[in-house]
Amino acid sequence: MAENGGEKVYAAATANPYGRVDEELASVAQREERRKKRMKYVAYGAAFVVFQTAVILVFSLVVMKVRTPKFRVRSATFQDFKAATLPTNSSFTTQMFAELSVKNPNFGRYKYQDSTVESFYQNYKVGEAAIPKGKASFKSTKKFAVPVDLSSTNVPGDVLGSELSQHAWIPLTSRATLNGKVRLMLIFTKKKSTNMSCTMNLNTSSKQLQDLECV
């Protein structure tokens, strides 16, 4: 029995004289397999790093970037417009209802403090109004209206007179600064101020706003 078994083993060992070569081939194949696996892991790792970097880049460039909100006059209407148009002594008074907007492009709300909007004819101040504090939620535009009493009391009568003898409109500018804070990820806050600077014409015959432009 034992001899038979020994013979069998012997026979098996001699049946394939290339056993060592096979073993070597097998280990080469294994090593190749392992190398391939390693390469796969390296590739996965690299892809992950690239992915993470992209995520962080997008996050810091898009989400965490603090942009300046846009503060502007959207429209305005005028009531009780009164004007004296003597070339040497012109004047006007009117009540402007201005619709303003604060456009917040940030991924977080913008909260601003009380402020003031001022209106000018040339460099003469013709009106001012209070802007109550408020907030514009993330990626949205807050709109509100303010009444502004306009009067040319500070404008020399002949300056306005020469303007109105040339055309039937009064060029006006509105300026304001909002100071506030942008909140990101519910915890980080960053101070951000924004300026309004709008030019417009008050058409004295239609008594309407024209050519409104904000920068």
Ligand X SMILES: *[C@@H]1O[C@H](CO)[C@@H](O)[C@H](O)[C@H]1NC(C)=O
Of 34 and 171, CB closest to ligand X: 171
Residues that bind ligand X (CB under 6 A): 68, 84, 89, 91, 157, 169, 177, 193-195, 203, 205-206, 210
Of 187 and 215, CB closest to ligand X: 215
Q: How far apart are CA 46 and CA 131, in angstroms?
A: 53
The minimum distance between CB 125 and ligand X, in angstroms, equals: 15
The minimum distance between CB 156 and ligand X, in angstroms, equals: 9
Residue, CB closest to ligand X: 206
DSSP string, 9-67: HHHHHHH-TTHHHHHHHHHHHHHHHHHHHHHHHHHHHHHHHHHHHHHHHHIIIIIS--P
Of 95 and 177, CB closest to ligand X: 177
Q: How far apart are CA 3 and CA 50, in angstroms?
A: 65
Q: How far apart are CA 120 and CA 10, in angstroms?
A: 111
The minimum distance between CB 111 and ligand X, in angstroms, equals: 16
Of 177 and 199, CB closest to ligand X: 177
- Could you tell me how far CA 211 lies from the centroid of its own chain? 26
The minimum distance between CB 206 and ligand X, in angstroms, equals: 3
Q: How buried is residue 72: exposed, middle or buried, by Cβ count under 10 Å (0-12/13-18/19+)?
A: buried
109 CB-near residues (< 8 Å, 6+ apart): 135, 136, 137, 138, 182, 183
User: Looking at this protein, which amino acid is placed at residue 99?
Assistant: E
Of 27 and 153, CB closest to ligand X: 153
